[in-house]
Chain A
Amino acid sequence: MGYSDKVIEHFRNPKNMGKMENPDGVGTVGNPVCGDMMKIYIKVEDGKIVDAKIETFGCVAAIATSSMTTEMAIGMTIEEAKELSRQEVAEALDGLPPQKMHCSNLAADALHKAIEDYESRQT
């Protein structure tokens, strides 16, 4: 079926889209099967994500989950952000059509990769 109003709202007015100068961590996920791609940038202070930006090449759900994932991630501790799952993102968007669940997976994966990148820079 169609997208929820929340999804459309985030698609219409996506938050935190674009590049970031001097990020503390960057995560890129791409899907070799269908070609979607996301690149997320995070800024971390005192173990907390204080800013996030994301670039997305993908469908409406991918753009909306990008927007929602970054919104949710900002303000979270690194540990909390590691736990952020696609279900939570999808729920926050009042659900996604079943065939679009994988898009929210991409955004969460990208975030987790950015955290990995951040952590690897700390040592």
Chain B
Amino acid sequence: MTDADKPARPAQKKNLFAQLEIDTRLLGMIGAFVILCLGFHFITDGRFLTSRNIFNLTIQTVSVAIMATGMVFVIVTRNIDLSVGSLLATCSAVMAMTQTFITPEVFGLGLNHPATAPIAIVVGIATGVLIGAFQGYIVGYLGVPAFIVTLGGLLVWRNVAWYLTNGQTIGPLDRNFMQFGGINGTLGETWSWVIGLIAVLFAFYSFWRNRRSKISHDFPVKPIWAEIVMAAITAVAIMGFVAVLNNYDVPRRRLQQMFEARGEVMPDGFTQGYGLPISVLLLIAVAVVMTIVARRTRLGRYIFATGGNPDAAALSGINTRLLTVKIFAIMGGLCGLAALVASARLSFHSNDIGTLDELRVIAAAVIGGTALAGGVGTIYGAILGALIMQSLQSGMAMVGVDAPFQNIVVGAVLVIAVLIDTIYRKRTGAK
């Protein structure tokens, strides 16, 4: 092949962000988030950006954020799922009953058996997948609009949960199960550093791999300084996050109890930070997997193609009906995971668990840049959206804003965020 056959990719890039290949939309969202946090920090005289509050913010966000990643796929394909809060309740009820009744009494494993938590989790997620697939089947194969199917689901699954438990609160839950609830299960300082380091190395590796792959196809690559800047930013962000979580110390009394339980005496001046909560680790894992699915798998490509032009997708041989079933099944499975986190955080299953979560989840996805018209959305955007919503809510509570007024603000922010996004897209000519 001669050089003339090999069209070169135009290399003229303009501004700094383009050189770093950072999505300006993401940058805008991060900017808004930072301003929000700094604002609350000053209003509350420095109580907002403390290790303790950041720790609490992250664990409060996990359940909604996990579901928001699935909602991205649902909305990208021009569907909606109004049933996620209720589905969470059903999954939570099933998991609670499995670990407090079925494994201890029916299987005779007793309480806090090591097999209990895994069994309960698998059963809960399977429940979510099955119900999600069922709703997806009605949407995809029977042609009932998703809005209607999941509006029905909103009522059905909330009350299925009620019937399963006779409306009773179920608890306390299995000890290992509760590790997924946030503060009840954290990695401690050392392991948090190790995980952070692994994450940094993995990020470096994927930067390097991507660069090598581009070079091998003769595509222009970022200047090496830009790669280094990006790598440095990534490393600082990851390690900084770990440092903050490690900086939140476990209270002395709790540490003493832990030592006593092991029959040891706590050394003087001993301190230990909480570190990464397992629930946050779970969210990060979900985010990574969902991002890979969205960007690097056929399934993800088909989801976005179908969202952009359903007819074109079908004419390209994509089975869009089956795709709908898969998307709702994924959404259901994520509701199961979110139910794990939410009920473990409460340490019991209650009737009203997940109430109004459908609205929070949809709002998180939409604030995160998922377009209801379909075809556009990112996983990290949805997670950031969930984080912004949670910060707003927590910050206002900290400032002492009245509860009704908090909701007024959250509602207004949702609309304004989408308005700004609409204007931004028009300006940049993006869809």
**A and B, one complex?**
no
Partner-B contacts on A (CB < 8 A):
none
Report B's interface with A, CB cutoff 8 A: none
